[in-house]
Structure 1
Amino acid sequence: MATPQVQGNGMLSREQLLHLFDRFCFLTSQPEVKKRIADAVQDKQEAVAVTTAIQEEIFLEMGIDPRYGISCLGKVSTVYENDLDLVIQFYKFIGKEEIACDEAELGPDEFSKRMLGQQKLQEKQLEMLKYMRKFPLDDQSAILDKIHQQMENANYESESSILSTEHIQGINVQRKASPLFMPR
């Protein structure tokens, strides 16, 4: 009986990567897989070790050497830098892995609270962006610069990505009153 050929060189194809991303997303949404990750965390194992093992199992299903497959994941954003859709799917895959780990580490109640907090933050960010669009592009640029500065000062804490409407108006008034501002 011949052993099946296992891919172990070159780079994974776009189709192989998309299959991995879809399969991983499906598996980590299943209750038994969530329990597997949570049980490992209870046993003092790293959640990411379990999610990596799940990825390795998917690679085996696909006929790909798991070590090779994992090593290819580290190269996706450079090898496929011109394939924006694939890179976006890759970052969604990474995000899904982080969510699976957080859910296992935090437990259902704390995880639900965190997700609700994230949703509220995103809603505030969306409202702020909608408000910003009322301003000319130069003003929008100044607002984004202020947000960037605020985030740097707060060590990139999520809440620092929000400016109130009053703060935004203050930036625009200050910028327009500044003698350094020279319209183009």
Structure 2
Amino acid sequence: MASATQSSGMLTREQLFHLFERFTILTTQSDVKKRIIDAVLDKQEAVAVTTALQEEIFLEMGVDPRFGISCLGKISTEYENDRDLMIEFYKFLAKEEMACDEAELGEEEFAEKKSYQQNLQQQQLEMLRHMRKFNLDDQSAILEKLHQQMENGNYESEASILSAGQMEEIIQRKVTPLFMPS
């Protein structure tokens, strides 16, 4: 007799954290990497393999795979106020993207992209460190400008950076009135 699988409600935090951790472990294993690469060489989508991998993890957890995948699409709304879970969810998405890129791009191009991403993250970290020097109102103004810049740049990676000079300029404009009444 087959055991029942969960197919309703929403996945719990614990279930999601388990999925994220298990997926991270599996995608670092050479046999799983080879499975994704072989699929790409066979003209399949890498994401189809990572999705199948997630479905296998759901089965291990006693969760109906289609239900589990549908829950992933609801995380942002169901857990929007759970900062820790959302951080892990975005790490999970990044890990899936990296696993696909590694299979699709080849060693050299993947190494270049990974180096670029690390450099970009370092610049973002420096920007955040500099931004912390400002009061909360100024930080909000900087983040609003950054949001506008990202929207205008179609959310391209380069649009996610403001230099120290640009931040200073945002603060100056914020506190400098355009005209002074007499």
Q: Does 1:78 align with 2:77?
A: yes
Distance 1:68 1:138 in 2: 43
Number of residue pairs aligned between Structure 1 and Structure 2 = 181
Name the stretch that deviates more: 134-143 or 33-42. 134-143
Distance 1:122 1:15 in 2: 28
Give the superposition deviation at 1:156. Answer: 1.8
Give the superposition deviation at 1:174. Answer: 4.0
Cα distance, 1:171–1:62 mapped onto 2, change above 3 Å: closer
* Pairs within 5 Å for 1:1-184: 2-179=1-178
**TM-score, structure 1 normalization:** 0.83
Give the superposition deviation at 1:115. Answer: 1.4
* Identity among equivalent pairs (%): 66
Structure 2 unaligned spans of 5+: none
Distance 2:45 2:58 in 1: 20
Distance 2:92 2:23 in 1: 8
**TM-score, structure 2 normalization:** 0.83
Higher Rg of the two aligned structures: 1
Structure 1 stretches of 4+ moved >4 Å: none
Structure 1 unaligned spans of 5+: none
Cα distance, 1:66–1:173 mapped onto 2, change above 3 Å: closer
Give the superposition deviation at 1:50. Answer: 0.5
Name the stretch that deviates more: 76-85 or 92-101. 76-85
